[in-house]
Amino acid sequence: MGKLRGAQTLLILLAATFACGGPSKPSQPAKPPPGPAGKAFAPLSIKADAKAPNQAVILGTDEKNGSTIVPIVGAAAKGLVDAMYVKLGGKGPASGGSSPVKLSTAPNTEGSVQVGIYEELSGGTGTQWRAGVWMSAFVAANTLGKDLTDFTFSASSGGYIDGASASGLMAGGFLATITGAKIDEAATMTGTINPDGTIGPVAGIPEKFKGSMEKGKKRLGYPIGLRMSRSAATGELVDLVQLAKDGGAEAVEITNVQDAYKLLTGKQLPQPVPVSETEMALDDSTTKALDGKFHDWQKRLAEEWATLLQLQQGGNLPRLLIAMASFAQSRGEDAEKLYKQGAVAAAYSKMLEAWVFAASATDTWDVLQKVQQGDVPAAAAALDKLDKLDQNTLALFKKLGAMRPTTMGGHMLMLSAFQSALRGWGFKAFASDEVKGARRYLDRLAGKRKEELKTPAAADALVSAVAPAIVLIGRTYAETLQAQQRLEYESEKTINYMCSLPNVKRLSTSFQSASAAGVNYFDTLLIEPMAKSFGMPPDAVRTRLAMNEPDYLVAYMLSHMTNMEEGMPRDLKKEWGEGSLAWNLMSLAANELAYSISAQLIAKHYSLKVHTDYFTGTGPTVEHEKAFTNMLETAEKTARASARAARIATGAIPVQAKLVYQMATVKRDGDVSDKIDALVSYWMSSAYSQTAVMLARN
């Protein structure tokens, strides 16, 4: 794994390397918009104010559920920011600097997604940079209570540029151009933008600071928790505050996009106030329903327990099989503990995960035993039987497509159920190829002597060949069943509501564009280097990653779903109609989920520098631990702030937001893996609340 770690480290450390240009100063509005004003909203009454071209609405800016109307330019505007960079490699030591990026925004009356990325040289902008621009535009619009389709965005740079470390800067810059605020030429910052608007850590900050100060920068922003930052040149920790002071500048800690805006403009943008933690508690009916589902999965796990114990105590078994059994057992024990503590939502999630690996371990063991007994046809038949467990997936999609929600909660329920079902479909799409490969492997074993089939080497090879397929089948089955169960434990007793299909389609297109950029970014960050390092096809690497990073497969499939020309999506689009409620809500569910997952993967592998050996299961470890802790705290507060916005816009906090918030609150006290899950869950909580707001304003 040395080669893989080296490739990952090189990519994660690599930042934007640009050629400096000499653009003219951007034009500024002759008359800045007036100051903000307060207003109270009844549920489902924000549309007129939120969609008005000359103003933005930031919901929940005080504890009494008041909101703030923020005037915006309502015309084309330009701004100039200086992106920090660090150059790695070459003959000399690492060095840094800053390079100009021209930003522009304008009202968009066409209702289509318009994000332009301009380059001075052909191929001058890299995949990571492009993804950063998309996320910056998306977050900037959402911060102002707007949709991506309400504006046109563009970012223009010179030379060759890549990396996402300037995405937080660009998000703050886009907010400045939209609101008509002048950007301070002496200010710049570094840090990635997360999907909830928080700022994530990056590498090489000491070199970036030095290079920026050499160009006259006096106010330098850095991600929260990274005051002590490692030098890319020496490998030693550097105090950024002292470094800036010694250079006649000021180092400013940046928590979120609002801080980025303040750094660049000197102005404070209103922010939503978080609801209390008690207001994120689940209601009694949801808790009771979840309790029943927990016991359903507990019973399923118990049916696998005897075989699991046998595997745990057995000798000379394949290491992968033992690892699967141990993982299932530990997750089951965690689920029991959480249930006794009253954390039913987290216990349910853990128990489902435990069952997937328990069932996969026992099913793999069954195939192995049949092979070792010399009955390869029986082993193949057992695999074929497992492959048919997803036969109710299509029926579930049709059941969801037949729903006709009349409330906001009903629309959110339909979206979340679609997302679980789509996860299952994503796993199944990859499982099909894996099953074919496993079958071919079993066919090659036919005719071999029992003595050959019983060797430890043969057992290891067989488990490695069939286990990935069986795990994917298990995930398919579990996600499909969970989608059905969501219909029973996610309440829809909320205000009456009917969505606008054209607007839902525009929302879906926005998420699709952003998710495609994010998935391509992750491919260049991890998939392509792994494929090259191990001499494997990219699809083989994707499937292998499913054991430790299953959501990547989901994001990859869903980002391509609406354009597929064959298979389940095409058939459902044809049956339901492209203009139907079912197809548009499923598309929105798919594209929003793909965007969220791709953003999470970028933060995990680029920003936080999470290291995991995917071929041995070693890890994970987080390099930026203090920054990670601060990100968790900020994401938790942001989830509660987003909940207030959703409650104002729709009359209630979505139960989906509460569910994942509760799971995150429990997991944040666990190991590194659990803490990462907690961060992702807080982001998902914010995403559910933001989706409710998006539906309300459309």
pLDDT tens digit sequence for 639-688: 999 999 999 999 999 999 999 999 999 888 888 878 888 998 999 999 99
Tell me if 149 sits within 8 A of 4, measured CB to CB.
no
Q: Report yes or no: 203 and 86 within 8 Å, Cβ to Cβ.
A: yes
Nearest by Cα to 170 from 132, 224, 212, 198: 132
Share of the chain above pLDDT 90, in %: 49
**Cα dihedral: 40, 46, 49, 52 (round 10):** 160
Q: pLDDT digits over 408-421, tens only?
A: 999 999 999 999 99
With cut-offs at 50, 70 and 90, classify the pLDDT of residue 637: very high
E strand or H helix at 595:
helix 581-602
Q: How do 67-71 and 55-58 pair as beta strands? A: antiparallel
Least confident of 59-63, 108-112, 181-185: 108-112
> What's the mean pLDDT when you consider all of the chain?
86
Distance (Å, whole) CA 684 – CA 145: 18
Give the mean model confidence (pLDDT) for residues 487-494. Answer: 81
Which residues are within 8 A (CB) of 643 and not within 5 positions of it... i.e. 6 or more apart? Answer: 274, 275, 279, 280, 653, 657, 658, 661, 685, 689
Tell which wins on pLDDT, 103 or 95: 103
- Cα angle, residue 607 at apex, residues 97 and 219 outer, rounded to 5°: 40
The amino acid present at 514, given as its one-letter code, is A
Give dist(CA 567, CA 580) in Å, integer.
Answer: 19
- Work out whether the CA dihedral 320, 321, 325, 331 comes out positive or negative: positive
Domains plus CATH for the chain? 2-33+72-265 (3.30.230.10), 279-697 (no CATH)
Do 87 and 95 form a contact (C-beta atoms < 8 A)? yes
**The two structure tokens encoding residue 457:** 């080497």
pLDDT value of residue 89: 64
Pairing mode, if any, of strands 114-119 and 151-157?
A: parallel
Q: How confident is the model at residue 602 (pLDDT cuts 50, 70, 90)?
A: confident
pLDDT at 139 over 60: yes
- Give pLDDT, residue 80: 96
Q: How far apart are CA 688 and CA 656, in angstroms?
A: 6
| Residue 588 pLDDT level (bands cut at 50, 70, 90) | very high
Kindly indicate the confidence band of residue 81, based on its pLDDT and cuts at 50, 70 and 90: very high
Predicted local distance difference test score (pLDDT) of residue 398 = 92
Report the C-alpha gap between 129 and 444 in whole angstroms.
46
**Residue type (1 letter), 421:** A
CB-neighbour burial class of residue 300 (10 A; exposed 0-12, middle 13-18, buried 19+)? middle
Are 189 and 222 a contacting pair, CB within 8 Å?
yes
* 188 φ/ψ angles, rounded to the nearest 5 degrees: -160, 175
Count of C-beta atoms within a 10 Å radius of residue 290: 22
- Of 50-54, 248-252, 536-540, the poorest mean pLDDT is in 536-540
DSSP code string of 400-412:
HHT----BHHHHH
pLDDT at residue 276 above 50?
A: yes
Task: Please say if the pLDDT value at position 219 is more than 80.
Answer: yes
Q: In whole angstroms, what is the distance from residue 186 CA to residue 252 CA?
A: 13
> Which secondary-structure segment (H or E) carries 195?
none
Q: What tens digit of pLDDT does each residue of 380-414 get?
A: 998 888 877 666 788 899 999 999 999 999 999 99
What lies within 8 Å, CB to CB, of 398 at 6+ separation is 572
**Which helix (H) or strand (E) covers residue 95, if one does?**
strand 95-107
CB contact set of 152 (below 8 Å; sequence gap of 6+):
104, 105, 106, 107, 108, 114, 115, 116
- Dig out the tokens for 539 from the structure: 């699809």
| 76 contacts: CB under 8 Å, gap ≥ 6 | 104, 105, 106, 107
Identify the CA nearest to 363 among candidates 385, 330, 333, 394. Answer: 385
The pLDDT of residue 443 is above 70: yes
Q: CA 608 to CA 602: how far, in whole Å? A: 9
Place of tokens 């609340």: 689
Both structure tokens of 37? 């004003």
The phi, psi pair for 678, rounded to 5°, reads -65, -45
Is residue 261 a contact partner of residue 70, using CB atoms and an 8 Å limit?
A: no
Q: How confident is the model at residue 619 (pLDDT cuts 50, 70, 90)?
A: low
Q: Helix, strand, or coil here: 264?
A: helix
For residue 7, the model assigns a pLDDT of 30
Backbone torsions φ then ψ of 153, nearest 5 degrees: -125, 145
Q: How far is the C-alpha of 563 from the C-alpha of 557, rounded, in Å?
A: 11
- Contact (CB, 8 A) for 21 and 158: yes
Helix spans in 14-71 (H): 47-51
Token pair 């803490």 is at which residue? Answer: 675
CA 356 to chain centroid, in Å, comes to 22
> How far does CA 543 lie from the centroid of its chain?
19
Whole-angstrom distance, CA of residue 651 vs CA of residue 580: 26
- Please report the pLDDT score of residue 547 as a whole number: 60
pLDDT exceeds 90 at position 262 = yes
- Name the pLDDT band for 18 (thresholds 50, 70, 90): very low
The confidence band for 232, taking pLDDT boundaries of 50, 70 and 90, is: confident
More confident residue, 253 or 200: 253
CB 610 within 8 A of CB 604: yes
C-alpha to C-alpha distances, 599 to 70, 196, 383, 419, 674, nearest whole angstrom: 28, 10, 35, 16, 18
| β-bridge pairing 219-223 and 187-189 | parallel
- Report how far residue 47's alpha carbon sits from residue 42's, in angstroms, rounded to the nearest whole number: 11
- Which of 154, 146, 151, 183 minimizes the C-alpha distance to 32? 183
What does the alpha-carbon distance between residue 279 and residue 337 come to, in Å, rounded to a whole number? 24
Residue 57 — pLDDT band, cuts 50, 70, 90?
very high
> Of residues 493 and 25, which shows the higher confidence score?
493
What residues does 198 pair with on adjacent strands? 256
pLDDT band at 23 (very low <50, low <70, confident <90, very high): very low
Lowest-pLDDT range, 15-24, 36-45, 206-215, 470-479?
A: 15-24
- Is the sign of the CA dihedral 162, 167, 172, 176 positive or negative? positive
What are the structure tokens assigned to 89, written together?
């490699």
pLDDT band at 636 (very low <50, low <70, confident <90, very high): very high
pLDDT at position 87 over 90: no
pTM, two decimals, is 0.85
